[in-house]
Amino acid sequence: MALIALLAGDGIGPEVTAEARRVLEVLDLGLTFEEAPVGGAAYRAAGHPLPPETLDLARRADAILFGAVGDPAFDMLERAFRPEQAILGLRKELGLFANLRPARLFAGLEDASALKPEIARRIDLVIVRELTGDVYFGEKGRRTTTEGLREGNDLMRYDENEVARIARVGFETARTRRSILLSVDKANVLETSQLWRDVVVEVSAGYPDVTLSHMYVDNAAMQMVRDPGQFDVIVTGNLFGDILSDQASMCAGSIGMLPSAALDSAGKGLFEPIHGSAPDIAGQGKANPCAAILSAAMMLRHSLAMPERADRIEAAVAAAIAGGARTGDLGGTLSTTAMADAVLAGL
Ligand SMILES: NC(=O)c1ccc[n+]([C@@H]2O[C@H](COP(=O)([O-])OP(=O)(O)OC[C@H]3O[C@@H](n4cnc5c(N)ncnc54)[C@H](O)[C@@H]3O)[C@@H](O)[C@H]2O)c1
Ligand SMILES: CC(C)[C@H](C(=O)O)[C@@H](O)C(=O)O
Ligand SMILES: [Mg+2]
């Protein structure tokens, strides 16, 4: 019996993870759920966004289903106590370096996409985002200079092993699809990116069957809205992957549709929507639960060896969308629960 750590978090996190849990329970997979506070909710309850008990549960569990963290009420706290440190801490502590963020347009969502329908229809890609390095985890600080100016700094860094292991995930992922891999960097300006590019090229020697190309991140951002259909698997660093995945979501209809998997080297993972706690709609039953439900499907596929159940959940989401089920972000009026009901109807 697999143990699932359910870390709902803040804002719409509890609303969407409750629906993902409902979908998993209907499938009767013999999963045990254990909940623990995380993010702002944990700071309120225990004085820390990632209490030791929560981290311990995450370590003990076979997989982690995560909602979202973030609460404007805590934006003025010292960084170590802010809700976002919970998800960053989980990624780092558990070694979840490989972040898979698939983006595809479910048939019927052409109108919700920010792109023209014929362009939107073509989006079907996976962003393989490095998740435990880069400017996120480099040395950072604030100081006042001798001239009395306030200064902030965040060090962008990768070592070759960190780049090589995510590059391998990129190549392996490409092999499961069309065997083309695009590495996105900013090697024309950044030394971190030049190392990234050099190492990705070295790793490519082990994957002669995969066609590798490179693109600068600014061009990639432009190409993502010009013609996202040109992309298949994109491997990139932590910061660029964060930004490009939010952008890809709106090409595919809504940020409320994109799931993600954060995996360690043994395949253990944390599964979460790419969106945040959405304070603007929290507590109103407006959130789209599909990203969380699709994250649960990724959990079944990647950590629990139940790929056919994952397929069933994804098919049920596709059927609900095809049948016209829409939350507000997709131009409809369904509540979070009613949207999940539409998915459940397809199961
Ligand atoms: N992994 C995470 O936990 C995570 C991810 C991103 C942002 N955050 C945090 O969330 C907070 C809010 O950040 P933000 O506003 O920049 O990003 P956000 O993703 O929370 O929201 C951006 C916009 O998208 C909408 N949206 C997001 N998810 C939706 C859903 N499921 N259905 C319908 N609409 C949805 C929101 O209403 C908002 O208008 C911040 O504290 C941020 O740090 C956390
Ligand atoms: C909340 C924040 C730390 C996080 C990130 O930047 O990785 C979020 O934006 C995400 O995409 O998961
Ligand atoms: Mg993000």
Q: Do domains 1-99+258-347 and 114-251 have the same CATH topology?
A: yes
Q: For residues 17 and 26, what is the distance between their CA atoms, to the nearest angstrom?
A: 14
**91 annotated to bind ligand:** yes
Query: Above 90 in pLDDT, residue 155?
Result: yes
Pocket test for ligand 1, best of 15, 92, 245, 255 (most atoms within 8 A of CB): 255
CA angle 249, 250, 256 (to 5 degrees): 60
Annotated catalytic residue 246: yes
Annotated catalytic residue 154: no
3-state helix, strand, coil in the chain (%, to 5): 45, 20, 35
Given the residues 10, 71, 185, 186, the one annotated as active site: 186
Q: For residues 16 and 293, what is the distance between their CA atoms, to the nearest angstrom?
A: 8
Region 118-123: mean pLDDT is: 97
Beta carbons within 10 angstroms of residue 327's beta carbon: 25
CB 65 within 8 A of CB 10: no
Annotated catalytic residue 75: no
Given the residues 56, 75, 218, 311, the one annotated as active site: 218
- Provide the residue ranges of all domains of the chain, joining segments of one domain with +: 1-99+258-347, 114-251
Q: Provide the pLDDT for residue 269.
A: 98
Length of the chain: 347
Pocket test for ligand 1, best of 7, 244, 250, 277 (most atoms within 8 A of CB): 277
Region 79-100: mean pLDDT is: 98
Q: For residues 245 and 263, what is the distance between their CA atoms, to the nearest angstrom?
A: 17
Beta bridge partners of 233: 126, 181
Q: Is the CB of 84 under 6 A from ligand 2?
A: yes
Q: DSSP assignment, residue 173?
A: H
Q: Provide the pLDDT for residue 52.
A: 98
Q: Is the CB of 63 under 6 A from ligand 2?
A: no
Q: For residues 308 and 313, what is the distance between their CA atoms, to the nearest angstrom?
A: 9
Say which residue the tokens 């982690």 belong to: 64
pLDDT tens digits for range 243-286: 999 999 999 999 999 999 999 999 899 999 999 999 999 999 99
Say which residue the tokens 């909940």 belong to: 35
Query: Above 90 in pLDDT, residue 138?
Result: yes
Task: Show the ligand 1 pocket: residues with CB < 6 angstroms.
Answer: 12, 16, 68-70, 84, 87, 255-256, 272, 275-281, 287-288, 291, 329
Using the mean position of ligand 2's atoms as its centre, give its distance from the Cα of residue 143 in Å. Answer: 25
Q: Provide the pLDDT for residue 246.
A: 98
pLDDT tens digits for range 8-26: 999 999 999 999 999 999 9
Give the pLDDT band of residue 291 (cuts 50, 70, 90).
very high
Query: Above 90 in pLDDT, residue 1?
Result: no
Give the pLDDT band of residue 177 (cuts 50, 70, 90).
very high
Of 198, 190, 195, which is closest to residue 217 (Cα–Cα)? 190
Q: Provide the pLDDT for residue 102.
A: 98
Region 108-119: mean pLDDT is: 97
Q: Provide the pLDDT for residue 337.
A: 98
Using the mean position of ligand 2's atoms as its centre, give its distance from the Cα of residue 243 in Å. Answer: 9
Q: Average pLDDT over the chain, rounded to whole?
A: 98
ipTM exceeds 0.90: yes
**213 annotated to bind ligand:** no
Q: Is the CB of 274 under 6 A from ligand 2?
A: yes
pLDDT tens digits for range 213-228: 999 999 999 999 999 9
**The listed CATH number (3.30.460.20, 2.20.25.90, 3.40.718.10, 3.20.20.10) that belongs to domain 1-99+258-347:** 3.40.718.10
Q: Provide the pLDDT for residue 210.
A: 98
CB 100 within 8 A of CB 271: no
pLDDT tens digits for range 41-78: 999 999 999 999 999 999 999 999 999 999 999 999 99
Q: Which atom of ligand 2 approaches the CA of 69 most closely?
A: 1
Using the mean position of ligand 1's atoms as its centre, give its distance from the Cα of residue 164 in Å. Answer: 31
**Which DSSP string do the residues of 17-61 spell out, in sequence order?**
HHHHHHHHHHTT---EEEE---THHHHHHHSSSS-HHHHHHHHHS
Of 202, 65, 220, which is closest to residue 129 (Cα–Cα)? 220
Instruction: Give the sign of the dihedral formed by CA 183, CA 184, CA 188, CA 194.
Output: negative
Rounded to 5 degrees, φ, ψ at 176 are -80, -5
Given the residues 62, 154, 227, 246, the one annotated as active site: 246
CATH homologous superfamily of 114-251 equals Isopropylmalate Dehydrogenase (3.40.718.10)
Q: For residues 86 and 43, what is the distance between their CA atoms, to the nearest angstrom?
A: 10
Give the pLDDT band of residue 101 (cuts 50, 70, 90).
very high
Pocket test for ligand 2, best of 242, 244, 255, 272 (most atoms within 8 A of CB): 242
Q: Which atom of ligand 1 approaches the CA of 13 most closely?
A: 3
CB 39 within 8 A of CB 49: yes
